[in-house]
Amino acid sequence: MMDFIKKLLSTSQEHKSLLCVGLDPSPVLMPDVDILTFNKAIIDSTCDLVCAYKPNLAFYEVLGVEGLTILEKTIKYIPAKIPVIGDAKRGDIGNTARAYAKALFSTFGFDATTVNPYLGFDSIQPFIDYKERGVFILCRTSNKGGADFQDLNCSGSLHLYEAVAQKALEWNVNGNIGLVVGATYPEELKRIRSACPEMCLLIPGVGTQGGDLDSAVNNGVDTNKEKAIINVSRKILYASRGDDFAQAARNMAEEIRVQINSCLVNHNGE
């Protein structure tokens, strides 16, 4: 299979897009259709506008075995050229981590996944050993409670999230590690991009969570105006609850893509 970063950049360049759509179906917010039909309609209406898709496993696991079947069918439905990031946030001891990595990369076939670094290197190594897959380490998350630990001083003047970024650089021997950094914390995002100039960043928090799109783009891209994956979920998925939900999702995705590209035109690289 194609290396995750190469696949991401290829699709991003072809579609002129840094937009990632989070496929997080919630029956209470969806129109009156089944989840697989909903996912397929969203994919059909947005697949030429995105650089990636990101299903969050929680929205499928909550449905039990049926949900995992829907997830599997959703992944297979996405065009092969578009990378799929499994938002699983896994993190456990080495033996268990190996099983998680195999499940996500071999069983489900995700191109990348998200992992929690709290247990240290041996909990992440099984994922990064899949050299062609992307591994996004939680660094500065978009939620308010992330500050409880991530802002703590841990070594000299470094915050914990900065120490995580430094470790990620040390561990990135295969070139397949990225970081999750929320758009809701633009100054932290700017510092992380400065510390990790070539690393791919997955940036949630734009849209419903209130992250500023201009700051996310300008602080998140690398010197080539790439390697920033701007994730938007609810604002696109639930643009309408009517029969026009797929067209409404497309309209919103196109609007956000245009806004992102406008930010790139004005990006000064500082």
Q: Which of 12-26, 139-153, 204-218 bottoms out in mean pLDDT, i.e. has the lowest?
A: 139-153
Quote the domain boundaries for residue 173: 4-264
Whether 189 is covered by a domain: the verdict is yes
Q: How many CB atoms lie within 10 A of CB 135?
A: 28
Whether 107 is covered by a domain: the verdict is yes
- Three-state DSSP at 94 gives helix
Give the CATH number of the domain where residue 52 resides. Answer: 3.20.20.70
Q: How many domains does the chain have?
A: 1
User: Looking at the annotation, which residues are catalytic?
Assistant: 89
Whether 166 is covered by a domain: the verdict is yes
Whether 269 is covered by a domain: the verdict is no
What Å distances lie between residue 61 and 21, 57, 70, 254, CA to CA?
19, 6, 10, 30
User: What is the per-residue pLDDT across 5-53, written as a single tens digit (0 to 9) for each?
Assistant: 999 999 999 999 999 999 999 999 999 999 999 999 999 999 999 999 9
Distance CA 130, CA 125 (A): 9
Q: What is the mean pLDDT of the chain?
A: 93
Whether 48 is covered by a domain: the verdict is yes
Whether 270 is covered by a domain: the verdict is no
Whether 40 is covered by a domain: the verdict is yes
Whether 175 is covered by a domain: the verdict is yes
Q: Which two tokens stand for residue 25?
A: 């179906």
Burial class (CB in 10 A: 0-12, 13-18, 19+), 225: middle
Helices (H), 30-146: 35-46, 58-61, 65-77, 94-102, 121-128
Q: What is the pTM of this model?
A: 0.95
Q: Which two tokens stand for residue 2?
A: 């194609």
Task: Give the mean model confidence (pLDDT) for residues 145-173.
Answer: 83
